[in-house]
Amino acid sequence: MKVLVAVKRVIDFNVKPRVKMDGSGVDLANVKMSMNPFDEIAVEEAIRLKEKGVATEIVAVSIGPAKAQETLRTALAMGADRAILVQTDEEVEPLAVAKILAKIAEEEQPQMVILGKQAIDDDNNATGQMLAALLGWPQGTFASKIEIADVATVTREVDGGLETVKLNLPAVVTTDLRLNEPRYASLPNIMKAKSKPLVAKSPGDYGVEVARRLETLKVVEPVKRQAGITVGSVDDLVGKLKGLGIAK
């Protein structure tokens, strides 16, 4: 069973993003970048499937600039077998990402595609669903548990609690935070990752146009939260709420 895992290079989740002075976007200069946390979970789940003897090969895929090779090397160090970088300096929108992944899936013929439910830089939460639609495959989104037998049984988190779905393979699964805890790559595996195959492609190799369809008009910082007010009693609290027109 071959598993295809999509990973994205994003601003490290520990870094506070800065907006450019002209409001045209987020400043990425000299900012630490890393693998999208949800995609780390996807890689970890693929590795666990391989350790159980369910998966036989893990192919990591990333779409982005040349520096995304670092993200793919991280996936290889964690345990992926080989990697594909679709190199472009354009900011690729979810639909174009899904189209490229669909073409790669048609070439590689995996039995499962696993990817994070969303990327923390744009929070679109759309690529997995679009990919499943393009391929005509069943999908299990927001997965908190995955079991593979003749079919994939996916427990997914929904507003009302948990929902379990059974998916015929091949299928697309998107990962949620509670699915697992990703491992740290050991130094020997980091060294081995340098010699694992990594192939560079371009969107044109797959016949996909990545020109943006959306225009960002302006990016601004969130409004700073105002300081709270301490009150000495319930009566004072009620009085403050009445003064703000919240209570009667």
216 band by pLDDT with thresholds 50, 70 and 90: confident
Chain CA centroid to CA 38, Å:
5
- Cα gap 46→41, rounded to integer Å: 9
Give residue 248's pLDDT: 67
Q: 140: how many CB neighbours lie within 10 A of its CB?
A: 26
- Cα gap 122→111, rounded to integer Å: 28
Mean pLDDT of the chain: 91
pLDDT at 180 over 90: yes
pLDDT tens for each residue of 9-62: 998 888 888 888 887 788 777 888 899 999 999 999 999 999 999 999 999 999
pLDDT tens for each residue of 89-140: 888 999 999 999 999 999 999 999 999 999 988 888 999 999 999 999 999 9
DSSP state of 61: E
- Cα gap 19→222, rounded to integer Å: 10
Average pLDDT over residues 215-241: 84
Give residue 238's pLDDT: 87
Structural domains in the chain, sorted by start: 2-222 (3.40.50.620)
Cα 115 to Cα 16, 19, 167: the distances in Å are: 24, 28, 16
Chain CA centroid to CA 140, Å:
15
Rounded to two decimals, the pTM is 0.85
Q: Which range, 81-85, 223-227, 230-234, has the best average confidence (pLDDT)?
A: 81-85
* Residue % of the chain over a pLDDT of 90: 66
Beta bridge partners of 156: 143, 163
